[in-house]
Each structure stands twice: as C-alpha cells, then as structure tokens.
C-alpha cells in the first residue's frame, strides 16, 4: 500500500484528489471488493465499503483517511482504513461461520481530504457528512493553483458519487497517536477520552511595495517584516501558559510579490492555536490581539483576519472509552486514557453519532514526517482491539437505551 505515492525518504505523498490519492483509492476499492463489500461513493468523495446483514438496519462504520500530507508517513490515516476493513471482515466471517447476525450492518470508510493541506479545511469529507461543512462550498474550495475540489475529484477514476450512506448506529476509528506519550510510557492501546480544541485563523498582513535598495527604512511598510513579527508573537504566546498547555504554529505563508528586489505588499498566513479548553484559546487570542496592535504600529502594516475555523474540545462518549478499556483487558494489552491533540474524522463524527477513537503508539511521536513509524506488533494489537470493540458496537453496545 505504501508503494503508492512512495517518497525517497521512506514515506508517502498522496495529497487529497491527486493522482496518488486516486491510485490508492482504486487499490482500496479492489481490496473492499475482494473482501465482499459493496463500494459506494458520496458527493464529497467519501469512499465506503458496506456489508448489509439486515436490510434497513443502521450501520456501524469503521475507518479513517487515505490522503496524506506532503512528504508524510505511511501510517497516518492509512492504518485506520486498513484496520477497519480487516476488523469488519473478521466480524462478517465470524457471524457467517456461527450462522448469526449482529444488530447492525457494517461499513468501512476512507474519508475524503482529512489532511487539508491541498484543500482547506481539513476533515472535509467527514465535515460534509456530519453537516458541519456545506457540500457546495466544499466542492468549490480551490487549491493554491486554483483547481477546485469538484474539478480534482472529476479527474479521478473514483471521485464523487451519488450514493447516500444509510443511517449510522456508531463510528469507530483507530489511528497512530502522532504524539510521544504512549511511545514513552510503553502503552499498547490509547482509549481517547477527549479532544483538544483548535482555532485556526487565516490572516493577511498588508504592506506596500517599494524598492529594497533605494527606499528609506523609515518610509517602508514591509508586509513580510510585519508577518515575521507575527509568527514570533504567535510562538511566544506559549510562554503565557503552563508548559505544553498551549500549542501554536504558523506553517503556511505566502508572500506577494515575492521578488528579491521589491518590498512585500502582502503576506497571507494561517495561525493554528490548540489547547484543552476554548477558554485558554480565547485568552491566547486576546493576548495575540494586543501584540498585533504593537506590531502594526512598529512595522506600519495592517493585520486583517479574513476567516477562521474552529473545532471544540469535548469528551468521547464514556461508554465507548470503557469499551476500549474492556477490550484491551480482555485481550491482555496495556492501555491508558489519552486525549487527542490532533484533529481526526472521529472528532467530527462524535458530535452526531456515538464514536470510539483509539490510538496505537507512534515511535517518538514523529508524524507528518517520512520517519513516522509504528511497529507491526503495535498495529496488530490495535487491530485486535478494534475488532473486539467493533463487534460489540455491531451488537448494539452503544445504542441509546
């Protein structure tokens, strides 16, 4: 699987709706068919494989995403989709052999564009599926070259489709942790009890073009200088909070006209703030706003907030967390309650359907990097726990009383 979009550094690059994403989707479609799942595509390009035990019964959905960051690792998302397929196949086989039928039907999913590097925002497929994003707006989203999601999906063998996925009874996702805590503590299974919240702001710093050689320093309105002060200020926000309680990043930045001899007139950037509670993020943003006033004055630039996207903190359903703990106990794997700092499709789905999210360790917490690694042993342990949990979900373990 990781030969598709393989990179020289041992990772993969399969950004959403690129040829490589298309290739891995086709590969996965064939794998679903081999395992007897019926393949469906919805209007935003989510790829489903469904197994119907009982016509009209709601579905337990398992999966994650097959798209990747640039020069990314092999495990982020891809592991969860593959594990979902194998867990569902095992459960189907068991019921076939036993001549039994679970309460719910089963399905596997590759959510479209979870990464959000080519098309913003991230978690787009699950966002549309859960009604958090409007389908038309998502399809009209353009990448930096101006290609829209609609156009990019139309170029794929498996792009957008017309299927409506039936009602969900529950969703379960397994993912690598992407942080170091489980790897450091030697924990096999993480039962995700809560998610951090994230506030992301698209910002434009406005300056004025001038000659880098002849324009007086005092007369300049250098948008890149303003932007540089802003990037530093965003980073320094963490000093106002307990250690590691606030994560802040600027990782995407575009300069206009980006000429070696012309002072920048405009810089566009994305500010990413994450913490356990919305209150902390609001305090961080208030502190940032104060600093921005000083930066505007010192650099004679203007900072404009053009858009923002948010996901809230919140717990995963307690009964689901316990299901993971019980499965780990039953199978003899070490486990702990963890939180997720990264966003996942489960972060969207949990707000509309009972959702279970579980982690396996990432070695040294390395992710979004070609050196991302999780051992086969750890992945197989995760698959066993996912299978155990999914079987109970199929039997109605999280159905409302």
Nearest distance from residue 246's CB to a second copy, in Å? Answer: 8
**Residues 46-75 close enough to bind a second copy by CB under 8 A:** 69-72
Q: DSSP 3-state assignment of 345? A: helix
Q: Is position 78 an interface residue for a second copy (rule: CB under 8 A)? A: no
Q: Are the beta carbons of 95 and 141 closer than 8 angstroms? A: no
Q: Is position 180 an interface residue for a second copy (rule: CB under 8 A)? A: yes
Instruction: Give the C-alpha separation, 55 to 76, whole Å.
Output: 33
C-beta closer to a second copy: residue 49 or 361: 361
Nearest distance from residue 64's CB to a second copy, in Å? Answer: 15
Q: DSSP 3-state assignment of 188? A: coil
C-beta closer to a second copy: residue 57 or 230: 230
Distance of CA 232 to the CA centre of its chain: 26
**Residues 107-126 close enough to bind a second copy by CB under 8 A:** 115-117, 120, 122
- Stretch of 134-142, 146-154, 166-174, 363-371 contacting a second copy, by CB under 8 A: 363-371
- Stretch of 80-88, 149-157, 171-179, 283-291 contacting a second copy, by CB under 8 A: 171-179
Instruction: Give the C-alpha separation, 24 to 117, whole Å.
Output: 18
**Residues 195-234 close enough to bind a second copy by CB under 8 A:** 196, 198, 200, 208-219, 222, 224-225, 227-229, 231-232
Strand ranges inside 264-334, DSSP E: 266-275, 302-311, 314-315
Residue among 29, 77, 98 nearest 342 (CA): 77
Q: Is position 247 an interface residue for a second copy (rule: CB under 8 A)? A: yes
Q: Is 65 annotated as a binding residue?
A: yes
Q: Is position 98 an interface residue for a second copy (rule: CB under 8 A)? A: no
Instruction: Give the C-alpha separation, 370 to 373, whole Å.
Output: 8
Query: In whole angstroms, how far apart are CA 380 and each of 45, 335, 353?
Result: 29, 15, 26
Q: Is position 179 an interface residue for a second copy (rule: CB under 8 A)? A: yes
**Neighbouring-strand partners of residue 271:** 201, 250
Q: Is position 270 an interface residue for a second copy (rule: CB under 8 A)? A: yes
Q: Is 318 annotated as a binding residue?
A: no
**First-to-final CA distance of the chain:** 41
Distance of CA 169 to the CA centre of its chain: 22
Given candidates 55, 56, 242, 260, which one binds a second copy under the rule CB under 8 A? 260
Q: Is 42 annotated as a binding residue?
A: no
Number of residues located near a second copy, criterion CB under 8 A? 72
- Stretch of 42-50, 315-323, 327-335, 368-376 contacting a second copy, by CB under 8 A: 368-376
Instruction: Give the C-alpha separation, 305 to 308, whole Å.
Output: 8
**Neighbouring-strand partners of residue 41:** 47
C-beta closer to a second copy: residue 87 or 224: 224
**Residues 303-322 close enough to bind a second copy by CB under 8 A:** none
Known binding residues for Zn(2+) are: 65, 76, 115, 175, 368
């Amino acid at each position: 699987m990781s030969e598709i979009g393989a990179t020289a550094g041992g990772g993969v690059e399969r950004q959403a709706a690129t040829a490589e994403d298309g290739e891995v989707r086709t590969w996965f479609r064939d794998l679903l068919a081999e395992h007897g799942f019926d393949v469906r595509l919805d209007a935003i390009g989510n790829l489903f494989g469904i197994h119907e035990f009982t016509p009209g019964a709601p579905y337990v959905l398992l999966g994650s995403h097959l798209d990747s960051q640039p020069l990314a690792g092999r495990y982020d998302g891809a592991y969860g989709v593959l594990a979902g397929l194998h867990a569902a196949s095992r459960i189907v086989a068991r019921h076939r052999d036993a001549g039994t039928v679970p309460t719910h039907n089963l399905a596997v999913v590759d959510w479209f564009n979870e990464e959000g590097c080519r098309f913003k925002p991230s978690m787009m497929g699950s966002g549309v599926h859960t009604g958090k994003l409007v389908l038309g707006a998502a399809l009209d989203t353009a990448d930096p070259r101006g290609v829209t999601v609609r156009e990019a999906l139309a170029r794929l063998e498996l792009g957008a489709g017309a299927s409506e996925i039936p009602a969900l009874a529950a969703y379960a996702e397994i993912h690598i942790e992407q942080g170091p805590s489980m790897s450091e503590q030697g924990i096999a299974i993480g039962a995700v009890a809560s998610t951090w919240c994230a506030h992301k702001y698209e910002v434009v710093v406005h300056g004025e073009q001038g000659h880098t050689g002849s324009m007086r320093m005092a007369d300049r309105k250098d948008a890149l200088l303003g932007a540089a002060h802003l990037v530093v200020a965003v980073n320094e926000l963490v000093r106002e909070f307990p250690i590691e309680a606030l994560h802040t990043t600027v990782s995407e930045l575009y300069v206009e006209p980006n000429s070696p001899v012309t002072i920048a007139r405009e810089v566009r950037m994305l500010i990413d703030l994450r913490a356990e509670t919305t209150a902390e993020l609001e305090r961080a943003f208030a502190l940032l706003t104060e600093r921005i006033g000083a930066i505007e004055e010192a650099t004679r630039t203007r900072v404009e907030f053009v858009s923002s996207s948010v996901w809230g903190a919140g717990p995963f359903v307690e009964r689901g967390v316990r299901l993971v703990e019980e499965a780990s106990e039953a199978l003899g794997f070490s486990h702990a309650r963890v939180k997720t700092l990264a966003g996942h499709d489960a972060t969207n789905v949990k707000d509309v359907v009972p959702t279970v999210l579980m982690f396996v360790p990432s070695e040294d917490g390395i992710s979004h990097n070609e050196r991302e690694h999780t051992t086969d042993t750890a992945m197989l342990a995760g698959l066993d726990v996912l299978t155990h949990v999914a079987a109970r979900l199929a039997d109605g373990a999280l159905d409302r009383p």
